[in-house]
């Protein structure tokens, strides 16, 4: 329940003794709220892991841990070159072994207080993961500027697509009562480098911008500030009408422009470092500029102008689709936004989901990445498991995030990966960002499933540096959260790394997508054909018939493949080069089509469904051997959740196999047990 900040005692006695030897003396130049928080964190960590209370010293005659911004450290000249410290930027840090007065010392330094806080967390992680600290030379700095959690939390404390209890924000008790959870949330988020929090749902309530609520938001901002986390708000585009008494919210109307300007000024009077606005406009019934025949750029720029004097930004979502636009939902965001490239103000960042539909278990990368070279694009991932079995399924999402980040768009030639694009490699003057839809709620274990915490953790790590590997992040999280014992870490790491593919296999193998239960998005629903709008029906997406299955997005179909650069387009376009994982995303394939596995499509699909469900059984067997490594309650929690997950996997498998069989009209291949 302390997330990855439990600071468990270092079990390896020899190593613990070495740590103590190195860390007995401390020179920590604190003072500001951020530095005080960093110092407090360091002391809590050392106490928990080593039962150590380091002695504060002024004159370093011993092996000392120095912590402080470079200007305040007073180290002997040239201990660390100024040019090296400069590389840490505004939020990064340096951890370095140095020799002072013939003593081996460690220095944690940065250019800013927040850099120091990150450095302290980075240093604690070394101990939490039991690294040697004899020779250290670590330079860390974020590759992305805005690393933001998006909470889809409503003012009545329900959470849209939240599966971990109610909202952690207790609006009723705010601003007077600051729950310890807010502070722990900020600590945990800061520990992985998250620096922003959109506290309310993108399906926004205009009341959020009333003085009463802004007071409450201010209290949260004050709580997060020492941890380097800025508060942002989702805003409803019709707010000038809803709470401002105006007749219009036309972004070119002078009164509307003035209203937003005044509102921004009001917000910044209370929250001088307010981050800015997140906007969902003209999507799923939300109001937006198109009602006034204005473009997304007109709407975003108007808000951007109101925020610019205060250095705020607008995160404008590209999640738009409309069932009145015929045929292929996957194409719409690209069609609407690409023509606007270069038209957004410099403090607007267009927020694009990782894939073109909607956070499915597997999607190809969104074709907008690389298609808007003059527009900042902020990638949006979903941590909450809307389409991944809610909080009863163990799904470690880092491999999903990495799959997208490492996809090569070829937009600027080979090597134009999504990661390179969103980190601004090809256009360094753009602002950069990564958003994660939070999976946090009021559940005692924060995220509903103990392993779901890993997704919050991994999101922060990847937003800080998308080049980090899923495997390293998983191992670090397991060690920090549970224990360093290799007999636990190795199997947990491997369970985590396989978990997303397993889930794809029993839900949506081979490029299938959007075949889940209607409305709730829970459980299988490939038969859904009456959802109220065509593009909410499962049948719209899988298009199964007696000939085959899949959505033809090649040039003989919707031609969505053509939204990708030629090398990518050609790969998807061609049935023989299209990867199995995306086959039915791009093609309507005959049931007897021969797959790479040598099986027919039908047999291969059945195989994937069975493999997926079986893998959950495997996972259960592994977990059953882990009772000795975690406390009883946690063991039982995970055990029970895995049993539920297994039932769900079987339900997905049986439903999909039996339903699709009505089209394929083929027997279930030998060796697979016929669903009851
Ligand atoms: O995934 C869909 C969800 C909606 C959500 C929407 C969005 C907040 O089903 O609940 O609304 O995406 O991202 O705006």
Question: How confident is the model over 609-633, as a mean pLDDT?
Answer: 97
CA distance linking residue 407 with residue 402, whole number of Å: 8
CA distance linking residue 495 with residue 489, whole number of Å: 10
- Write down the residue that tokens 């021969």 correspond to: 594
Whether 463 is covered by a domain: the verdict is yes
Question: How confident is the model over 548-552, as a mean pLDDT?
Answer: 98
CA distance linking residue 566 with residue 570, whole number of Å: 6
User: Which of 140, 174, 206 represents a domain boundary (last residue)?
Assistant: 140
- Is the confidence at residue 217, as pLDDT, over 90? yes
Report which listed range, 97-106, 493-502, 532-541, is most confident. Answer: 493-502
CA diameter of the chain: 82
Ligand 1 pocket member 321 (CB < 6 A): no
- Is the confidence at residue 413, as pLDDT, over 90? yes
Q: What is the pLDDT of residue 325?
A: 66
> What's 518's domain CATH number?
3.90.1330.10
Rounded to the nearest whole angstrom, what is the distance from the C-alpha of residue 435 to the centroid of ligand 1? 14
- Calculate the CA 540 to chain-centre distance: 28
Ligand 1 pocket member 218 (CB < 6 A): no
Return the residue whose CA atom lies nearest to atom 2 of ligand 1.
Answer: 358
34 shares its domain with 129: yes
Whether 578 is covered by a domain: the verdict is no
Could you give the residue numbers annotated as active site?
A: 284, 358, 386
User: Which of 140, 155, 184 represents a domain boundary (last residue)?
Assistant: 140
User: Which of 87, 114, 140 represents a domain boundary (last residue)?
Assistant: 140
Question: How confident is the model over 207-230, as a mean pLDDT?
Answer: 98
Ligand 1 pocket member 160 (CB < 6 A): yes
Ligand 1 pocket test: pick from 205, 282, 284 the residue with the most ligand atoms within 8 Å of its Cβ. 284
Ligand 1 pocket member 319 (CB < 6 A): yes
Whether 106 is covered by a domain: the verdict is yes
Q: Can you read off the two tokens belonging to residue 465?
A: 């540096």
Over the stretch 317-366, which tens digit does the pLDDT of each residue have? Answer: 999 998 776 689 999 999 999 999 999 999 999 999 999 999 999 999 99
Question: How confident is the model over 559-578, as a mean pLDDT?
Answer: 98
104 shares its domain with 153: no
Q: What is the pLDDT of residue 61?
A: 74
Domains identified in the chain, total number: 3
184 shares its domain with 248: yes
266 shares its domain with 212: yes
Are the C-beta atoms of residues 349 and 372 closer than 8 Å to each other? no
Over the stretch 63-101, which tens digit does the pLDDT of each residue have? Answer: 899 999 988 888 888 899 999 999 999 999 999 999 998
Per cent of the chain over pLDDT 70 is 99
CA distance linking residue 413 with residue 418, whole number of Å: 12
Over the stretch 155-177, which tens digit does the pLDDT of each residue have? Answer: 999 999 999 999 999 999 999 99
> What's 249's domain CATH number?
3.20.20.80
Are the C-beta atoms of residues 97 and 103 closer than 8 Å to each other? no
282 shares its domain with 367: yes
Are the C-beta atoms of residues 254 and 261 closer than 8 Å to each other? no
> What's 61's domain CATH number?
3.30.379.10
Residue 676's pLDDT band, with cuts at 50, 70 and 90, is: low
Q: 292: how many CB neighbours lie within 10 A of its CB?
A: 16
Q: What is the pLDDT of residue 59?
A: 76
Q: What is the pLDDT of residue 675?
A: 63
227 shares its domain with 356: yes
Residue 441's pLDDT band, with cuts at 50, 70 and 90, is: very high
Whether 573 is covered by a domain: the verdict is no
Give the range of the structural domain holding residue 115, as residue numbers without chain letter: 3-140
Q: What is the pLDDT of residue 614?
A: 96
Whether 349 is covered by a domain: the verdict is yes
Secondary structure string (H, E, C) spanning 328-359: CHHHHHHHHHHHHCCCCCCCEEEEEECCCCCC
Three-class SS state of 45: helix
Q: What is the pLDDT of residue 326?
A: 64
Return the residue whose CA atom lies nearest to atom 3 of ligand 1.
Answer: 161
Whether 566 is covered by a domain: the verdict is no
- Is the confidence at residue 60, as pLDDT, over 80? no
Whether 563 is covered by a domain: the verdict is no
DSSP symbols for 170-220? -TTTTTT---HHHHHHHHHHHHTT--EEE-S-SS--GGGGSHHHHHHHHHH
85 shares its domain with 202: no
193 shares its domain with 334: yes
382 shares its domain with 290: yes
Q: 591: how many CB neighbours lie within 10 A of its CB?
A: 20
Q: What is the pLDDT of residue 77?
A: 85
Q: What are phi and psi of 464, to 5 degrees?
A: -70, -45
Adjacent-strand bridge partners of 596: none
Q: For the chain, percent helix, then strand, then coil, each to nearest 5? A: 45, 15, 45
Residue 271's pLDDT band, with cuts at 50, 70 and 90, is: very high
- Is the confidence at residue 564, as pLDDT, over 80? yes
Residue 571's pLDDT band, with cuts at 50, 70 and 90, is: very high
Close Cβ partners of 63 (under 8 Å, ≥ 6 residues apart)? 21, 22, 24, 25, 103, 104, 105
474 shares its domain with 540: no
How would you label 112-127 residue by residue, b for 16+ Cβ within 10 Å and e otherwise? bbbbbbbbbbbbbbbb
Question: How confident is the model over 28-55, as a mean pLDDT?
Answer: 97
> How high is the ipTM of this complex?
0.99
21 shares its domain with 49: yes
- Is the confidence at residue 245, as pLDDT, over 70? yes
Q: Among residues 194, 41, 130, 211, which one has the least CA distance to residue 476? A: 130
Over the stretch 588-608, which tens digit does the pLDDT of each residue have? Answer: 999 999 999 999 999 999 999
Give this prediction's pTM: 0.98
Whether 562 is covered by a domain: the verdict is no
136 shares its domain with 162: no
């Amino acid at each position: 329940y302390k997330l990855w900040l439990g600071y468990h005692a270092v079990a390896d006695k020899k190593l613990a003794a070495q740590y103590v030897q190195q860390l007995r003396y401390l020179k920590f130049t604190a003072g500001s709220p951020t530095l005080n928080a960093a110092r407090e964190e360091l002391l809590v960590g050392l106490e928990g892991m080593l039962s150590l209370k380091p002695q504060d010293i002024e004159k370093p005659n011993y092996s000392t841990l120095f912590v402080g911004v470079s200007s305040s450290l007073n180290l002997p000249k040239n201990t660390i070159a100024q040019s090296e410290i400069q590389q840490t930027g505004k939020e990064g840090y340096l951890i370095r072994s140095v020799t002072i007065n013939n003593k081996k010392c460690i220095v944690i330094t940065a250019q800013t207080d927040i850099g120091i806080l990150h450095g302290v967390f980075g240093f604690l992680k070394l101990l939490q993961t039991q690294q040697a600290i004899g020779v250290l030379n670590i330079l860390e700095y974020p590759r992305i500027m805005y690393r933001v959690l998006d909470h889809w939390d409503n003012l009545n404390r329900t959470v849209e697509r939240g599966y971990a209890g109610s909202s952690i924000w207790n609006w009723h008790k705010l601003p007077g009562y600051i729950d310890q959870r807010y502070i722990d949330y900020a600590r945990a988020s800061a520990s992985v480098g998250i620096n922003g929090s959109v506290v309310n749902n993108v399906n926004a309530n205009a009341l959020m911008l009333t003085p009463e609520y802004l007071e409450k938001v201010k209290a949260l901002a004050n709580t997060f500030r020492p941890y380097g986390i800025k508060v942002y708000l989702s805003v409803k585009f019709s707010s000038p009408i809803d709470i401002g008494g105006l007749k219009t919210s036309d972004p070119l109307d002078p009164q509307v422009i003035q209203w937003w300007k005044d509102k921004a000024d009001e917000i910044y009077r209370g929250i001088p470092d307010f981050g800015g606005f997140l906007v969902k406009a003209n999507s799923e019934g939300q109001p937006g500029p198109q009602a006034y025949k204005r473009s997304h750029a007109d709407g975003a720029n108007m808000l951007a102008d109101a925020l610019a004097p205060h250095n705020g930004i607008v995160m404008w979502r590209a999640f738009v689709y409309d069932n009145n636009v015929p045929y292929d939902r996957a194409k719409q965001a690209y069609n609407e936004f690409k023509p606007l490239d270069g038209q957004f103000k410099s403090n607007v960042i267009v927020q694009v989901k990782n894939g073109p539909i909607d956070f499915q278990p597997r999607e190809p990368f969104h074709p907008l990445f690389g298609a808007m070279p003059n527009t900042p694009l902020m990638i949006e991932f979903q941590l909450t498991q809307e389409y991944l079995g809610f909080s009863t399924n163990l799904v470690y999402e880092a491999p999903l995030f990495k799959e997208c980040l490492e996809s090569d768009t070829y937009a600027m030639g080979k090597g134009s990966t999504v990661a390179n694009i969103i980190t601004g490699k090809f256009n360094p003057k753009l602002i950069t960002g990564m958003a994660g839809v939070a999976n946090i709620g009021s559940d005692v274990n924060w995220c509903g499933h103990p392993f779901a915490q890993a997704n919050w953790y991994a999101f922060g790590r990847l937003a800080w540096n998308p080049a980090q590997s899923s495997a390293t992040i998983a191992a670090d999280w397991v060690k920090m959260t549970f224990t360093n014992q290799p007999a636990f870490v190795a199997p947990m790491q491997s369970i985590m790394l396989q978990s997303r593919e397993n889930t794809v296999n029993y839900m949506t193998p081979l490029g299938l997508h959007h075949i889940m239960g209607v409305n709730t998005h829970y459980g299988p629903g490939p038969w859904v054909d009456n959802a109220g709008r065509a593009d909410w029906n499962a049948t719209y997406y899988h298009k199964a018939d007696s000939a085959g299955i899949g959505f033809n997005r090649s040039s003989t179909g919707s031609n969505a493949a053509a939204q990708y650069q030629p090398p990518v387009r050609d790969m998807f376009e061609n049935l023989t080069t299209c990867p199995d994982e995306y086959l039915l995303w791009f093609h309507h394939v005959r049931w007897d089509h021969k797959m790479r596995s040598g099986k027919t499509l039908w047999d291969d699909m059945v195989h994937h469904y069975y493999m997926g469900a079986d893998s959950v059984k495997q996972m259960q067997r592994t977990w059953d051997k882990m009772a000795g490594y975690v406390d009883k309650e946690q063991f039982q929690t995970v055990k029970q959740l895995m049993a539920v997950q297994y039932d769900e996997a079987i339900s997905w498998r049986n439903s999909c196999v039996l339903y699709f069989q009505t089209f394929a009209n083929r027997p279930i291949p030998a060796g697979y047990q016929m669903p009851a």
